[in-house]
Chains A and B, each alone.
Chain A
Amino acid sequence: AQTVTQSQPEMSVQEAETVTLSCTYDTSESNYYLFWYKQPPSRQMILVIRQEAYKQQNATENRFSVNFQKAAKSFSLKISDSQLGDTAMYFCAFMKPQGAQKLVFGQGTRLTINP
């Protein structure tokens, strides 16, 4: 069974700073997908970024980028030029591309961006 671990329950940075959220996972699969979802206060989870394991290039979406280290089973999220609207719970998730394609989540990291 796959497991996802986020070791930082909470983080706090100043607006405009760069912040990195950590995620590690455990799997015996060779092909899989990894995700970062963001859940703002009292709002639904929305997808921030996706990485396919067979792609060596790290995914980027505007100010969001990942550092995917397949051998180390590490998948960190970097937020550059952080904004107040980035304040949210961030979940790392794993998915096998076969079957029901359910998401396996980490515990989440609560990120606060301070003005």
Chain B
Amino acid sequence: EPEVTQTPSHQVTQMGQEVILRCVPISNHLYFYWYRQILGQKVEFLVSFYNNEISEKSEIFDDQFSVERPDGSNFTLKIRSTKLEDSAMYFCASRYSGSPQETQYFGPGTRLLVL
């Protein structure tokens, strides 16, 4: 069965550094999401992406964050200058269509640690 994949599984970075988290959504999916979960807290929505543009973003998703679909397969989340509070598990998700009946499929996550 097709799966959403994410790389790397773990990343450690220094505060102020740029990080790029990569996701490969399921191949025929058209809607893409990033969520994050700070340790001990809820999974929170960051951003949704469709037709090569952001369709919705949360308050968390400030100017330090950006998303891109550079080719037909990858979906990336970039954090330009990481802060300690960006340490979290980041989940990518994808969905085939805009129907609410369609399931969001999640990747296994990237655990980001900012030192």
Q: Is the interface of B mostly helix, strand, loop or mixed?
A: strand
Stretch in B42-50, B63-71, B77-85 touching the partner: B42-50
B109–A105 CB distance below 8 A: no
> Complex: how many Å from CA A99 to CA B44?
17
Interface residues of B (CB under 8 A from A): 3-4, 31, 33, 35, 41-45, 48, 50, 55-56, 91, 95, 98, 100, 103-109
- A105 / chain B contacts, CB cutoff of 8 Å: 35, 42-44
Q: Is the interface of A mostly helix, strand, loop or mixed?
A: loop
Interface contacts beyond A4-B42, A100-B56, A108-B42: sample of 9 additional A-B pairs, CB < 8 Å, sorted by A: A44-B105, A44-B107, A100-B33, A100-B55, A101-B31, A103-B104, A104-B45, A105-B35, A105-B42
Number of interface residues of A (CB under 8 A): 24
Interface residues of A (CB under 8 A from B): 4, 33, 37, 42-47, 50, 52, 91, 95, 97, 99-108
Known A99-B55, A102-B48; judge A107-B106 contact (CB<8 A).
no
